[in-house]
Chains A and B, each alone.
Chain A
């Protein structure tokens, strides 16, 4: 069963199952709304290793640049090819077509403690 988890920094990671080591990662709808109109996304090279908490992408909106952090350690397996020409896809579909990277996880246990969908919604409610 697909699992979808969320970080406090407003990234999401989706896997086909709870023990899968292949995750698709993006930013949340809330995050894209906070950023506003996105005009450029700097994505990592495929094959690069990242550690949990490391910056792996920069999203430039009209108003600011924002870093995106890896929710877990691993190796970049793919980047979303559509974002080079259409960075606004993240505004339109942050949690589906606007995915950023696919990551091969080094240690899926690093995801323990992330929010599930309900937990993330409660966290957003706390933020106001």
Chain B
């Protein structure tokens, strides 16, 4: 027996970086695996909620706590800072109001995606150390060094990027997340999806956004690294909350139709192809002025040659990333993410296919390991989002 397509089958080695919560994961029975250079829990083997399926269902029905401290946090400061960042992303950041967060992408000169990221404009006086003309960024773990160098290089000394490696990031996700967090910080009850606040959690300063990567209502909580275990243990002490590993994080985000950088999006795939055109600002569509604007604006007006789609394989066998998608015997694309969807109770996948094969209901097949699996194009997401839009 051998694992063939998991990057996480070997024990965490000594050359990995710990997050501020790695000790807690060990204490909770976390099965630590290497992920983007960090020792991260794949799943938990102790406690009442153990294993990827149970952790997935717990997050959809109660509340799950995720350590996402491996992600890159940074503050961007300086006069007109939104305009400087707009040189690198297609989102409209000048109209991003204080206390709001937005999803966008760092694009390449060729119109591909270097990374996807969250950008928040903090509420006034929230970041006393940083002044009011600041943006808070969260980027992916594997790309953070490259992202930060890329952003700093584009600022031409007019704005300042400060990575925050001494901050941890904790996600609390699920239908009970708001009730749980409101016991500690009642003000979170008033927050809507993609709002951002600086609040105290039992006296600990926290930057909290109502956001996440599961399709559920929930929060992402940035705290100083040395306070992270206190905050995590405080949340885990609530009866609805269980720790959740990377395995369920992946099944949850796949069912929610959310992109994983390096699989569903990369430097060759444009935001339009990836179905992320909704995140491109109206003014930016008129004015351009971001890397790859020629391709991206062209695809917005003429249609993209390829599309990210949802794919429902027939039967019980999951399809997996990298497998070829065919229509009428001809290759039309590839699976970018695939697995079993615990909440939909069947295999689910996302694929990048030629636009002609992307219409909902189109019959396709996936070349599996030993035989072809019939599949059809399905609307994303596979589970309805339950974001708190207020």
- Chain B, residues 1-31, CB within 8 Å of chain A (1/0): the string is 1111110110100000000000000000000
Considering only CB atoms and an 8 Å cut-off, how many residues of chain A contact the other chain? Answer: 25
Known: A34-B9, A37-B52. Contact between A60 and B1, CB under 8 A?
Answer: no
Q: Is the CB of B51 within 8 A of A37?
A: yes
Q: Mark B89-124, 1 if CB is under 8 A from A, else 0.
A: 000000000000000000000000000000000000
- Inter-chain contact A62/B1, CB cutoff 8 Å: no
Kindly name the residue among A35, A63, A66, A68 whose own CB sees the greatest number of chain B CB atoms within 10 A.
Answer: A63
Q: Mark A64-83, 1 if CB is under 8 A from B, else 0.
A: 11111100000000000000
Contact between chains at B370 and A128 (CB < 8 Å): no
For residue B246, give the distance in angstroms from its CB to the closest CB of chain A: 9
Nearest A residue to B7 by beta-carbon distance?
Answer: A64
Asked if B3 contacts A40 (CB within 8 A), the reply is no
One of B65-73, B195-203, B270-278, B312-320 contacting the partner: B312-320
Q: Are B52 and A9 in contact (CB under 8 A)?
A: no
B299-358 interface with A by 8 A CB criterion? 316-318, 320, 339-340, 342, 347
CB distance from A24 to the nearest CB of B (A): 16
- Of A34, A39, A40, A59, most B-chain CB atoms within 10 Å: A39
Q: Is A36 an interface residue (CB 8 A)?
A: yes
**Chain B residues whose C-beta falls within 8 Å of the C-beta of A10 in the assembled complex:** 1
| Interface pair B318/A40, CB less than 8 Å apart | yes
Interface range, B side:
20 to 34
Q: Verify B3–A64 contact, CB threshold 8 A.
A: yes
Closest CB of chain B to A1's CB: distance in Å?
Answer: 27
Would you give the 0/1 interface string for A33-65, flagging 1 where the beta carbon is closer than 8 Å to chain B?
Answer: 011110110100000000000000011101111
Interchain CB contact under 8 A, B1 and A63: no
Whole-angstrom distance between the alpha carbons of A42 and B369 in the complex? 10
B42, closest chain A residue (CB):
A63
CA distance A23 to B347 in the complex (A): 32
A40 and B8 alpha carbons, distance in the complex (Å): 20
Are B3 and A62 touching (Cβ within 8 A)?
no
Name the A residues within 8 Å of B43 (CB-CB): 36
- Our pick among B2, B52, B316, B317 for the contact of A63 (Cβ within 8 Å) is B52
A63 to B251, CA, bound (A): 9
The answer to whether A63 touches B4, judged by C-beta atoms less than 8 angstroms apart, is: no
Smallest CB separation, B5 vs chain A (Å): 5
Q: Jot down 11 A-B pairs with beta carbons below 8 A, ordered by A.
A: A11-B1, A36-B51, A40-B318, A40-B347, A42-B317, A62-B56, A62-B339, A65-B318, A66-B4, A67-B2, A87-B316
Q: Which residues of A contact B (CB under 8 A)?
A: 9-11, 27, 31, 34-37, 39-40, 42, 58-60, 62-69, 87, 128
